[in-house]
Amino acid sequence: MNLDPIATIIDAHLHVWDPSRGVYPWLGEHLAPVNRAMTLREVMPELTDRGVGAVVLVQSADAGFDTDLMFETARSHPEVAGVVGWVPLDLPAEAAGRLARLRDEPLFAGVRNLIHERADPDWILRPDVDAGLGLLEQAEVPFDFVAGGPQALATAAEVARRHPGLHLILDHLGAPPLDADSGQAQQWLHDLEVLAGHPRVYAKLSGLYLGPDPAGDRLRRAGSHIRAALRLFGSDRLMYGGDWPICLLHEPYGRTLDIVRHSLPDLDATGWHDILTATATRVYGIDLRRPASARP
């Protein structure tokens, strides 16, 4: 694949997993299409068709085996430009040791925990977890924040307030409402504006699934949300993510990219370069010029 950093599209949010390696508590028969090993090799033809030349693998389980699998995938796929792994943020001493080991990996790009799967919506604000986030802030390691529930954006803003030096990446644009509830949309926009006021917060244009939309109403709302994000963050704080294979529960790979392109018809070349390449490169510390022989 062509890894010219000017021409390469980076998919900043892609998963691989293998249930034979360990437990993914959220995965089961109710997610039958993806309740199996999902490998990068499977999606490679679609990435090629879409001009995606590099990907960031993002954690799928709060366990070490999942991060190990991503680094193993990287060793056989030079298309992997970064890995967002896991450390136990609620165990700061253990997190410090694991973080030190991960930082020895050339492709280590950031940390995520499945905070949206936890029963306590304020888990991320607990003192022990806050100490773990402090480790990331001190080490200048980005943190992917995945939203779950109506209070998630306000919670993310509180994390950003407590840790102004932390590079916080909002996954899936904070799950904006796509149905016709103006109150929810106004609250989401207000919370996103507050969050965007923190200069080290970024957002992924990912996970925007329209579902059945014969009249195009959800597409129009998605477009409005994407344009709001562009206005609030600027293109240099936005990045594209395809969210494969979760996207397969809703639509084929690449539909999110189509939605983003449709929503920003007037964006100039610099803006597209930011969203499709430069923001992820800068925030995750990606080096597209690193030869395959130098990868782990």
> Where in the chain does DSSP place strands (E)?
9-14, 52-58, 80-85, 108-112, 143-146, 168-171, 201-205, 238-240
Domain limits, the chain: 9-294
Say which residues have a Cβ less than 8 Å from residue 168's Cβ, sequence separation at least 6: 142, 143, 145, 156, 159, 160, 198, 200, 201, 202
User: Residue 248 — pLDDT band, cuts 50, 70, 90?
Assistant: very high
Q: In what order do the strands lie in the sheet with 80-85?
A: 9-14, 52-58, 80-85, 108-112, 143-146, 168-171, 201-205, 238-240
**Any bridge partners for residue 68, and if so which?**
none
Q: d(Cα 143, Cα 154) in Å, to the nearest integer?
A: 16
Confidence at residue 293, expressed as pLDDT on a 0 to 100 scale: 40
What's the topology of domain 9-294?
Answer: TIM Barrel (3.20.20)
Please give the Cα distance from 6 to 19 (Å, whole number): 37
- Whole-angstrom Cα distance, residue 41 to residue 204? 23
pLDDT in tens, 73-100: 999 999 999 999 999 999 999 999 999 9
Amino acid symbol at 12: A
User: Is the predicted pLDDT of residue 115 greater than 60, yes or no?
Assistant: yes
> Residue type at 273?
H
The average pLDDT across 132-161 equals: 95
State the pLDDT confidence band at 149, using cuts at 50, 70 and 90: confident
